[in-house]
Amino acid sequence: MITNNIELVVDALKQGDCVGLPTETVYGLGANAFNKKAVEKIFSIKGRPKKNPLILHTHSLKEVKKLVKSISPIAHNLANFYWPGPLTILLNKSELVSDLITAGSSKVAIRIPNHPLFLEVLKSVDFPIAAPSANPYQRISPTSAQQVDEYFGDQLPYILEGGKADCGLESTIVGIEKNTILIYRQGGITIESLKKIHPNVEIVQSEKSTVVTSGMDLKHYAPQTKLLIVENINYFKKQNPHLNVGILDFKEIDNRLIAKDFYQKLYDLDKQNFDVIVTKKFKDKGIGKALNDKLNRASTK
Ligand code: TXA
Ligand code: MG
């Protein structure tokens, strides 16, 4: 059930339920990270394999410090600059964080989200909230409460209404190795922005990485309809008159606004039974780079 009543949602979390929560990136499927049964519910509702770890959300650096062994100077700078916001940082976990959360890794993924209602929820409980995006495994991430309801309505006691997600893409996930920031998943914070904080930034290629995140899977965020990236959409339509073609294009010029609508548009097109959805690449800079990464993973090769 979609609700505006934050107290109901907080009570459900305290009782070990799994609920839909708004964030500035995408909606999350949240539960008490210190309650094993609650965390297991996340995996089973989402249909997610246990080898795939979860992000912990909390409301302050003081709380983050309890969940990690230490915070390096670079991580500290990132936290100060971007939190609350769409950046997730991999840090060495403390004893408080279970192997169920990290899938056995010594590192835990943490972020302080920037959504007023989610922050209010986090301040009302005395545990961090584990939350993956609120979509069934490998489906498109939801950017509205309505979409979470369509995916999981009957399985969640509550979905907190928090409006349309402002960023529209998942958080950028980074780790720090020696003197370098490694990007494991592209998202709301751009590489250009990170480079202003610290000059050494690299995007990790999934094939070469020992850290594996589902955002690195080559097939991810996929619509069920075939998605093709083409050079010229009109030309494609002319060449394929027999096909019922859905078009994923954007009127806005600002890539930030495009990102906000991106998953929703893909999701809406996916429901319309087209033979194929076609789209074009974005300019490969800023948030356009993250959008191209999502397109690549969602498209049919
Ligand atoms: O914007 C977001 O990050 C959203 C909102 C709800 O906060 N959450 C989200 O979670 O996108 P999820 O689970 O859909 O994607 C998190 C990614 C997964 O690919 C997971 O494998 C990776 O983060 N991850 C989580 N913990 C990790 C860890 N300890 N080491 C490596 N990767 C990790
Ligand atoms: Mg996800």
DSSP 254-293: -HHHHHHHHHHHHHHHHTTT-SEEEE-PPPSSTHHHHHHH
Tell me what the mean pLDDT of segment 248-274 comes to. 93
Structure tokens at 14: 């305290």
| Contacts for 208 with CB less than 8 Å, ≥ 6 apart | none
Under the phi-then-psi rule, with left for phi > 0, alpha for psi from -120 to 50, and beta for the rest, what region is 178?
Answer: left
Q: Percent of the chain scored above 70 by pLDDT?
A: 94
Residue 216 pLDDT > 70: no
Angle 255-270/287-298 helices, nearest 10 degrees?
20
Task: Using alpha carbons, select from 2, 187, 236 the residue that is nearest to residue 85.
Answer: 187
- Residues 17-70 have pLDDT tens digits of 999 999 999 999 999 999 999 999 999 999 999 999 999 999 999 999 999 999
Name the more confident of 207 and 15.
15
pLDDT of residue 42: 98
Amino acid (1-letter code) at residue 51: K
Q: Report the predicted TM-score, pTM, of the whole model to 2 decimal places.
A: 0.95
Tell me what the mean pLDDT of segment 165-175 comes to. 97
- Residues 269-286 have pLDDT tens digits of 999 999 999 999 998 899
Structure tokens at 253: 């010029």
User: What confidence category does residue 301 fall into, taking pLDDT thresholds of 50, 70 and 90?
Assistant: low
Q: Which atom of ligand 1 is nearest to the CA of 30?
A: 6
Sign of the CA dihedral with 85 first, then 89, 95, and 98 last: positive
Ligand nearest to the backbone CA of 54: 1
Tell me what the mean pLDDT of segment 206-212 comes to. 54
pLDDT of residue 18: 98
Structure tokens at 230: 């083409």
Task: Using alpha carbons, select from 81, 105, 104, 103 the residue that is nearest to residue 91.
Answer: 105
Element (H, E) at 194: helix 191-197
Q: Percent of the chain scored above 90 by pLDDT?
A: 88
Q: What are phi and psi of 34, to 5 degrees?
A: -95, 0
| Distance from residue 184's CA to the centre of ligand 1 (Å) | 10
Query: Which residues have any ligand 1 atom within 6 Å of their CB?
Result: 23, 25-26, 28, 52-55, 88, 90, 102, 105, 107-109, 113, 131-133, 170-171, 173, 211, 213-215
Tell me what the mean pLDDT of segment 234-262 comes to. 93
d(CA 198, CA 55): 23
- How many alpha carbons fall within 13 Å on the CB side of residue 153? 8
Rounded mean pLDDT of the chain? 94
d(CA 27, CA 161): 10
Ligand nearest to the backbone CA of 56: 1
| Distance from residue 244's CA to the centre of ligand 2 (Å) | 29
pLDDT of residue 138: 87
- Residues 62-118 have pLDDT tens digits of 999 999 999 999 999 999 999 999 999 999 999 999 999 999 999 999 999 999 999
- Residues 57-78 have pLDDT tens digits of 999 999 999 999 999 999 999 9
Residue 219 pLDDT > 90: no
